[in-house]
Amino acid sequence: MHNMLFVCHGNICRSPMAEFVMKDLVAKAGLESQFHIESAATSTEEIGNPVHPLARQKLREHGIDCSGKTARQLTRADGEKFDLLIGMDSANLRNMRRICGDSEEKIHLLLDFTQRPGDVADPWYTGDFDATWRDVLEGCRGLMEYLSRLDRAKNK
């Protein structure tokens, strides 16, 4: 079972986009029973708020529904509960380490699973939800490939 949590600053743009893109990729691969996927925020600013309207729109354009998702904050218990904690940028990683403590081997950046590691730009500031969509999709596809390689290695 792959148990993962996507994390960004407010849990209304990037991390819910990653959560629902990953759920969509997993469903299309018929692997729902092998994954548990959620998302959370490092801050308290947006707790209880729905996914940002432009992020919802971008997901909807690609046939992905995120209805019912509201922002929640990352907790220390999440560091124990999840096998992978996947941040969107380096500031998220610092805050994730502060909140979760000794979870270093579990914490990664989403774009580290691609050929171009780095930060997923925050569309809250850039206004570019298209670029965020492309980064999130590429990162989630790379993560799926990485996990597939791990599973194949385990089953040898």
Whichever domain contains 118, its CATH number is: 3.40.50.2300
Residue in 13, 56, 78, 122 annotated catalytic: 122
pTM beyond 0.85, yes or no: yes
Is 152 an active-site residue?
no
Q: Which run of H or of E encompasses 87?
A: strand 84-87
Is 135 an active-site residue?
no
Domain count, the chain: 1
Range of the domain at 20: 2-154
User: Tens digits of per-residue pLDDT, 2-21?
Assistant: 999 999 999 999 999 999 99
Is 141 an active-site residue?
no
Identify the band that residue 151 occupies on the pLDDT scale cut at 50, 70 and 90. Answer: confident
Phi-psi region of 26 (alpha: psi -120 to 50; beta: other; left: phi over 0): alpha
Identify the band that residue 139 occupies on the pLDDT scale cut at 50, 70 and 90. Answer: very high
Q: What is the pLDDT of residue 123?
A: 96
Phi-psi region of 11 (alpha: psi -120 to 50; beta: other; left: phi over 0): left
Residue in 13, 14, 89, 135 annotated catalytic: 14
Q: How does the average pLDDT of the chain come out, rounded?
A: 95
Q: What is the pLDDT of residue 15?
A: 98
Encoded amino acid at 14, one letter = R
Say what percent of the chain tops pLDDT 90: 92
